[in-house]
Each structure stands twice: as structure tokens, then as C-alpha cells.
Amino acid sequence: MTESSDKVVYMMRGLPSCGKSTTARKLAGERGLVLETDQYFYTEVGEDPTRFNYKAELMEDARQWNFERFKQAVREGQRLIVVDRGNSLNLESHVYARFAADRGYTVRLTEPDSPWWQELKVLLKYKQVTKPVLEKWALQLYKLSRRTHRVPISTIRRWMFRWKWNVTIEDILAYKPRNDEEDELFRTYMEDDLGEPAPPKPDPVPDSTESV
């Protein structure tokens, strides 16, 4: 985690339907703020805010919408923020962590506290020998996900077998764009609409494998 501060950002990490949102709400309590990309498909798409109106073509809009809410909460000095998305070793997680850390927040990487996640994360740690069991879990998570996130089983399998059990917040903060496209996206995400300059441009590093 980053050095201690009285303002904290928790970044949830875990697979779909493993209890991230439940844990996020517990962490936030009555005074904290939970920011979830999926909320876009409730409040910004369709006419019924109680219905999950997912459209794949709007996913990038949803991500940007959630990050803009996050930046606003950080600028306003919200003391406890929970980023409820599948944070991993990638650019999107990096910009959340970097934006908060650069503005005096302690940033912590947190996993669900559900009993099934406690079992699943051990299986993921030893995935070289637990693949048959993980295949069954992928199907179970897919069925659970159909109620809300609607994540394809192929995506869940891919995330499982790219999972890194020992990723830390320091790893995420140190992440660098892997190519020119990611580098440009980094600059776009970190642009502060109040005229505050973005952090120095990092050097891209060659890497063809994204970890979760």
C-alpha cells in the first residue's frame, strides 16, 4: 500500500460474482463512496434506473464515466472511496491508483471476503494443478454473472488463467503503458479538466501479456 493518509482509496480485486460489491459496501459504510462502472448501465442507459441495461458498445463510455466520477471525488477530498471494479495489473487500474496517490491518498488493494472467494483464490494460486476444478468454478461464476454483470464464460476463463495471486498496489502504481495506444490512453485518463498538468509521461515498455 502507499504511505499512510487520512484519505483512503480501496481498489477491489477479484473475479466476477465473487463478492466484490458486497465487500465494497461494507468498506464504505455510511460515509464512504462506492464507484462502480456497472452503475452506468443502470443510471445512464435506458429509462429504468433499477434495470441493468448493458450494451457492449458503451463499455468504454462507462469506464470513462466512472473514472470522471472518481476524479471528482478525489478533487473534493472524499475521505473514503471504494473503486468496485476488477482491478488488476493493467493501465486502467494504474490510472485510478496513480491519480489518487499523487493527490495524497493511501491506496489499498482489497479482495472480497466471501467464503467462496477464499476457496477460489487458493485454487487460482495453484492453477497449474487445479485447472479441472477452476473450469467448474468458471461455469458457476458465469451462471451467477448472468443476473448482473453478464460476463462471458470465455472471459472468466481467460481472467482465471492469467490471474496473478501476488499482485500488489506497488505493482499497479509502477505499471507502464505497453504501447503507443496505451500511452495515449494514459494521457487521456490523467488529463485533469481543472487545468492541473498530468503526471510526467512514462516510457512505454514492451509486454504482450496482461495480467489480472
Pair (16, 30) in one structural domain: yes
3-state secondary structure of 212: coil
Pair (122, 103) in one structural domain: no
Give the DSSP H/E element, type plus range, for residue 4. none
Q: Which domain holds residue 144?
A: 115-162
pLDDT tens for 125-169 read 999 999 999 999 999 999 998 877 678 999 999 999 999 999 999
| pLDDT for the residue numbered 191 | 66
Q: Does residue 203 lie in a domain region?
A: no
* 34-40 contacts at long range (C-beta below 8 A, 24 or more positions apart): 34/82, 34/84, 35/66, 35/69, 35/70, 35/73, 35/81, 35/82, 35/83, 35/84, 36/66, 36/84, 36/85, 37/62, 37/63, 37/65, 37/66, 37/85, 38/62, 38/148, 38/149, 39/66, 40/65, 40/66
Pair (32, 105) in one structural domain: yes
Pair (70, 105) in one structural domain: yes
| pLDDT for the residue numbered 209 | 41
Q: Does residue 22 lie in a domain region?
A: yes
Looking at the structure of the chain, the number of domains it has is: 2
CATH of the domain at 86: 3.40.50.300
Pair (83, 182) in one structural domain: yes
Pair (12, 81) in one structural domain: yes
Pair (92, 126) in one structural domain: no
Q: What is the mean pLDDT of residues 14-31?
A: 95
Q: Does residue 205 lie in a domain region?
A: no
Mean pLDDT for all residues in the chain: 87
Q: Does residue 200 lie in a domain region?
A: no
Q: Does residue 196 lie in a domain region?
A: no
pTM metric for this prediction:
0.84
> Would you say residue 196 has pLDDT above 60?
no
> Would you say residue 199 has pLDDT above 70?
no
Q: Does residue 204 lie in a domain region?
A: no
> Would you say residue 1 has pLDDT above 60?
no
> Would you say residue 79 has pLDDT above 50?
yes
Q: What is the mean pLDDT of residues 42-48?
A: 90
Pair (80, 57) in one structural domain: yes
Pair (41, 76) in one structural domain: yes
Q: What is the mean pLDDT of residues 4-29?
A: 93
> Would you say residue 194 has pLDDT above 60?
no
Pair (151, 57) in one structural domain: no
Pair (90, 180) in one structural domain: yes
Task: Single out the residue in 147, 162, 177 at which a domain terminates.
Answer: 162
Pair (173, 119) in one structural domain: no
